[in-house]
Amino acid sequence: MLTLPIEYYLTLSAVIFIIGTIGVLTRRNAIIIFMCIELMLNSVNLTLVAFSQYMGDMAGQIMVLLVMTVAAAEAAVGLAIVLALFRNKQTVYVDEVNVLKW
């Protein structure tokens, strides 16, 4: 049986989501920004699993599986983009990639 109120899980996942948002907005390293996006995806996963278990509905857990798939595809392609960026510019700092400003 689940004895804790669901608000505990929801508050924790909101806090983790905010930590991820702060990371995305303040860090310059593209790989760390990428890891912060993973943090945000994970906090949403926690919300989905909590709702799924408290409401007795499997939809939340299926959605978590789909989110994980998208996260893996994003990891593969996103990190490939970071590698291509490094090959062309010799940097992974997002504020040094500003050629479009010309």
Partner 1 sequence: MSLDLTFFIILAIMAAVSALMVILRKNPITSAMSLVLHFVSLAGLYLTLHAQFMAVIQMLVYAGAIMVLVVFVIMLLNLGREEKMAVRQSARAAIGIGASMVLGALLIWGLTQVMRPVAAGSSQAMVNGQIASVGKALFSTAYVFPFEMVSLVLLAAAVGAVVLTKRNLK
Partner 2 sequence: MIEQYIPVIAMIVTGILFGVVSVKAHEILGPQRPNKSKETPYESGMEPVASAHERFSVKFYLVAMLFILFDIEIVFMYPWAASFRELGGFALWAMLLFVVTLFVGYIYIVKKKALKWD
Residues near partner 2 (CB under 8 A) are 1, 65, 68-69, 72-73, 75-76, 79-80, 83
- Which residue is it, tokens 């909101």? 14
The b-or-e profile of 24-57 (16+ CB within 10 A means b, else e) is: eeebeebeebbebbebbbbbbbbbbbbbbeeeee
CB 55 within 8 A of CB 3: no
Rounded to the nearest whole angstrom, what is the least distance from the CB of residue 89 to partner 2 in the complex? Answer: 16
Residue 67 binds which one of partner 1, partner 2, none, with CB within 5 to 8 A depending on kind?
Answer: none
Q: How far apart are CA 27 and CA 32, in angstroms?
A: 7
- 94 binding partner (options partner 1, partner 2, none; Cβ < 5 to 8 Å by kind): none
Minimum gap (Å) between residue 101 Cβ and partner 1: 15
For residue 6, state whether it binds partner 1 (rule: CB under 8 A): yes
Nearer to partner 2, 80 or 97 (CB): 80
